[in-house]
Structure 1
Amino acid sequence: MYPTGGQLGQCCCHSSVKAVCTLPDTCRTHPPADDHDARHPSTNRNDLLDRLRGWTAFDGVALLDDVATVLDDVPPAEENTEELAKRLRGHLMRLVTIAVATEAEEDTATAHLIERARTLRDEDLPGGHWKAVAHLRRLGWTANELHDRLAAIRCLKEAA
């Protein structure tokens, strides 16, 4: 017997197929539409839509290209440091989001890398070309290490 007394397939919480709840008035798992609207006002929906519009998918190839650029023997040109820092911060943000969503922070090595990524991501690019290059290399190294760790614990497919 199901909590609502309904039949299999009538509600997404009572079937193996995920679907919209068709029993909003009697389902104990899903509150009525009025309760849902009270908990999620339209401003939250608009905020969610704005965040979805600004979302960028994880691109492992772009990550590895940027990491290779900053870790290369030839340092990046001074005019490219701001753009590289912005892209590497974005890569770190996506990797941390993936790690948190997959509960990878339960692994101590991953948790350490997540903390380092958050710290580096929040730091401003220092003045002076060589200090900026050093910071870019720390960003790139951390992004590469976190990417490799997430691939090793199967939270992420390896990029070729």
Structure 2
Amino acid sequence: MLERLRGWSPFDGGALLDDVAAVLDDVPPPEEDSVQLAERLSGHLARLVTISVASEAEQDPTVAQLVVRARTLHADRLPCGRQEAIAHLHRLGWAANELHDRLGLVRPIMRGAR
């Protein structure tokens, strides 16, 4: 348990938004950055899913749908073709952004309901 606490870092919404902006910008990210962006966005999605489950926010139907989508995208690998990779990065970015936004709406309501 102590090791898990030592390795824990708080969720960084700013880093998530930076990565989302990088992939959803009008100019696609450089090809050499695609793998790292996909890994970071997958990590953001995994953390958002964990937050959704732990906070019981996935009781909200929209959050539940976004969690399913996030899990599916998290499991997908980055495609090899440039256009396919950009499309995958866009899907990761939109999923992370939408789940992050929805959690921001739902979690305060849930805290008030307890």
TM-score (norm 2): 0.89
1:65-144 alignment runs, 5 A limit: 65-144=18-97
| Structure 2 Cα separation of the partners of residues 141 and 112 of structure 1 | 13
- What per-residue deviation string (whole Å, max 9, x for no partner) do you get for residues 59-111 of structure 1? 11111111011000100111000110111011111111111111011111100
Aligned to 2:17: 64
| Structure 1 Cα separation of the partners of residues 6 and 34 of structure 2 | 27
* Coordinate RMSD, CA, aligned: 1.2
Runs of at least 5 residues in structure 1 that lack an aligned partner in the other structure: 1-47, 156-160
2:18 alignment partner AA: D
Q: How far does residue 122 in structure 1 lie from its aligned partner after superposition?
A: 0.8
| Structure 1 Cα separation of the partners of residues 44 and 33 of structure 2 | 17
SS at match of 1:153: helix
Q: How far does residue 153 in structure 1 lie from its aligned partner after superposition?
A: 1.0
| Structure 1 Cα separation of the partners of residues 27 and 81 of structure 2 | 17
Aligned residues: 108
1:90 alignment partner AA: G
1:87 alignment partner AA: R
SS at match of 1:74: coil
Identity of aligned residues (%): 65
| Structure 2 Cα separation of the partners of residues 62 and 114 of structure 1 | 20
SS at match of 2:8: coil
Larger relative contact order (C-alpha < 8 A, sep ≥ 6)? 2
| Structure 2 Cα separation of the partners of residues 145 and 93 of structure 1 | 14
